[in-house]
Amino acid sequence: MLRLLLTSALLGTIALLGAALPPLHAQNVEVPLALEGEDEQLIQGRIDWTDNLLIAYGEGVAPEGMSPAQRRLMGLRAARVAAYRNLLELVGQVQIDAETTVDMAMVVSDTVRTRISGIIQGARVVPGSQQEEGDLYRIALQLKLLDRFADAVLPGQVDETPVSELSTEADSLDSLETPIIFVPPEPYTGLLVDARGLDLQPSMAPRLLGEDGREVYSAAFVERSYATSIGVVGYDKDWERAFTGDRLGGDESHPLVVEALRTEGPYDADLVIDREAVFRVVMADGESNFLSECRVVFLLGPEPIVVDSTLLDSTAIDSIDLETSDLEFLGETGTDSQPQ
């Protein structure tokens, strides 16, 4: 039985391989994966949730008695076969939602298993990943977690249920003693949920929930063509890139920004927002209809350091590592207008 290993030791193992692995993208949301196989060999890879890629690595050895060119060809071929085999093992660890992995879906449905096995055959070699060290050859394969793959595993739509839930939530907010007034200055191009500082675990179909547990956004809200082509949500660790990315409008982006309160679910894949934020999302989506088109991004990373600039002198500022710290200065930038 395969055993999932998601530990700091894995990061060390990946680091030891050095140039054999493609470089990690510092601002992408990436999750390292490793499995201990039946033969106690380490199967390793990672999920890049920003680019929607599952990456697996393979190693191979060429037979003796060949020319250098033949040895390289056969060694890389063996590594590629191993990478395909490893990809088939690692794909089961992809989290579909807060409760379900691809492995669980394949156990329940032979159709899903058959479709996934066929899709994996279309995995591509990661550019620049072909390496050799003595008699050992290494290669990496990448599988896009969109299109046919997403169509095979994403949950189906629930007719009209999300709309009625949102309408009920908006009506209940209208009855509050202190009414919430929210008039968008112009139509919003999408939704940016700030989840920095929370231990959110990425998945293919996360949910955005109100404090009462009702869904504000999920895979049930969206047109399936958008969910399979760009994903139910986008994940990013770079505020400016997330704010101005194509999903939220590109150069014309004007997303609604809300802060998440906490994570939810057995896998911590869902986010919870407060009642006022729910109201703002409902009203903004009623104007722009961005939820059905998956124009939603979850921003991850460390919690930013909030600094009141009026209370700091130059000495205090100099003591902060500006290159590694995410800083926000109170009273200078609103979350609905510009990147922070």
pLDDT band at 272 (very low <50, low <70, confident <90, very high): very high
Q: Confidence class of residue 166 from pLDDT cuts 50, 70 and 90?
A: low
**In whole angstroms, how far apart are CA 145 and each of 52, 62, 123, 149?**
5, 31, 10, 6
**CA–CA dist 116, 81 (Å, integer):** 17
Q: How far apart are CA 327 and CA 322, in angstroms?
A: 8
**Per-residue pLDDT reduced to its tens digit, 188-208:** 999 999 999 999 999 999 999
Which of 293, 315, 203, 195 lies closest to 248 in space, CA to CA? 293
**Average pLDDT rounded to a whole number, residues 282-301:** 96
Decide if 202 contacts 31 (C-beta within 8 A).
yes
- The most confident of the ranges 7-16, 167-176, 253-262 is 253-262
pLDDT above 90 (res 279): yes
Q: Rounded mean pLDDT of 169-184?
A: 53
**pLDDT value for 1:** 38
pLDDT at residue 153, rounded to an integer: 97
Beta bridge partner(s), residue 244: none
**pLDDT computed for residue 181 by the predictor:** 58
pLDDT at 34 exceeding the cut of 50? yes
pLDDT at position 27, please?
A: 86
Which of the residue ranges 39-53, 156-170, 172-186 would you say has the lowest mean pLDDT?
Answer: 156-170
Give residue 304's pLDDT band: very low, low, confident or very high (50, 70, 90): confident
What does pLDDT average to over the chain? Answer: 83
Q: Looking at residue 157, what is its pLDDT?
A: 58
